[in-house]
Amino acid sequence: MTLVTRLLQAHEISDADRVFRLAFGTFLGLPNPQDFMGDATYLEHRWHMDPSAAFAAEKAGRLVGSNVAVCWGSFGFFGPLSVHPDLWDHSIGQKLVAAVVDRLDEWGVTHAGLFTFARSPKHHALYQKFDFWPQHLTVVLAKAIAPGQTLADEARYTRLSEDQQAEALAAARALTHGLYDGLDLSREIEAIAAHNLGEVVLLWDEAGLAGFAVCHCGPQTEAGSDTCYIKFAAVRSGPQASQNFDRLVQQCEALASAENLTKLSAGVNTARVQAYRQMLAAGYRVELVGVAMERLPRSGHNRPEVFALDDWR
């Protein structure tokens, strides 16, 4: 039967989510694969950010897989890639990767990557066919958060006026351009407010915006119940970057506490070795280890002098 690769439609998101959980839960050997990720979710808000970047695989009138490309300005990544376990090893994954790679090329990104299982040569071989190669490990860390902390309104993007939000968005764009030319988290920042996904934490100093963190909070986000997940965070380059990084992470902890969440989770590429070391020193412990696969020779914002958090899942 002919396989069709096409854009994912809004009414198919729940079907795609079921296949996603079944595929990953089966690969990981969970007793009930549908329990994978609990009440966290990826597909719905990624589809809303850009429906033209979400792809479905259909066979015999049935949705059997999906994949989503994400654009952060000059950098792009994709995932989660999932295929129904009954159809593994039928080249469906290759077709879904081809679709998102074409979209990344259409966007003209200068750096592209993905997160995958460090222990899976099968996954590595698939992505290497598209010129993505294993680079540094990416470590997802977490820490228990004590209750009773608060976060000031000026540190919360969603509590700013419309004009203040526009200024903060422009400042965030300038900050990330300083880390890698064209890196832009505007879509992620705007999605937080548009879809009630959590908060964008803002760190200010006398020079302006010193750092920011895009945080998902609670169920039906990428965090899940009781968790605050830092999807992306970065501080301005310069002599104060190390101290500002610690301050920004502390503000994220305050956000989690203020929102009555008990855990803060974040990923860091180990090429950013000082950021990784400071997370460990702050009491964060490893929950998951993956590998970043990147199209060479670009290293993007995965450099030792960059203080940033993300994991490209």
Q: Is the pLDDT of residue 4 over 90?
A: yes
Q: Please give the DSSP secondary-structure letter assigned to residue 311.
A: -
Residue type, 300: G
Q: Please give the DSSP secondary-structure letter assigned to residue 31.
A: S
pLDDT band at 306 (very low <50, low <70, confident <90, very high): very high
Cα separation, 236 vs 307, in Å, equals 8
Structure tokens at 32: 């009930």
For the stretch 42-90, pLDDT in tens is: 999 999 999 999 999 999 999 999 999 999 999 999 999 999 999 999 9
pLDDT averaged over every residue in the chain: 97
Residue type, 86: D
For the stretch 112-159, pLDDT in tens is: 999 999 999 999 999 999 999 999 999 999 999 999 999 999 999 999
Q: Closest by alpha carbon to 59, among 113, 1, 98, 125?
A: 1
Give φ, ψ of 255 to 5 degrees. -60, -50
* pTM (predicted TM-score): 0.96
Whether the upstream peptide bond of residue 219 has omega within 30° of 0, thus cis, is no
For the stretch 266-296, pLDDT in tens is: 999 999 999 999 999 999 999 999 999 999 8
Q: Is the pLDDT of residue 1 over 80?
A: no
For the stretch 187-222, pLDDT in tens is: 999 999 999 999 999 999 999 999 999 999 999 999
Sequence-ordered list of residues with C-beta below 8 angstroms from that of 181, at least 6 positions apart, any chain: 74, 110
pLDDT band at 299 (very low <50, low <70, confident <90, very high): confident
Residue type, 89: D
The pLDDT value recorded for residue 302 is: 96
Specify the pairing of strand 208-218 against strand 224-235: antiparallel
The pLDDT value recorded for residue 195 is: 95
Sequence-ordered list of residues with C-beta below 8 angstroms from that of 225, at least 6 positions apart, any chain: 38, 39, 218, 219
Percent of the chain clearing pLDDT 90 (strictly above) = 98
Cα separation, 23 vs 230, in Å, equals 25
Q: Closest by alpha carbon to 199, among 244, 255, 245?
A: 255
The pLDDT value recorded for residue 212 is: 98
Cα separation, 40 vs 274, in Å, equals 29
Q: Provide the CA 72 distance to its chain's centre, in angstroms.
A: 10
Rama region for 224: left / alpha / beta (φ>0; ψ in -120 to 50; rest)? left
Residue type, 281: A
Q: Measured in Å, how far apart are the chain's first and last C-alpha atoms?
A: 31
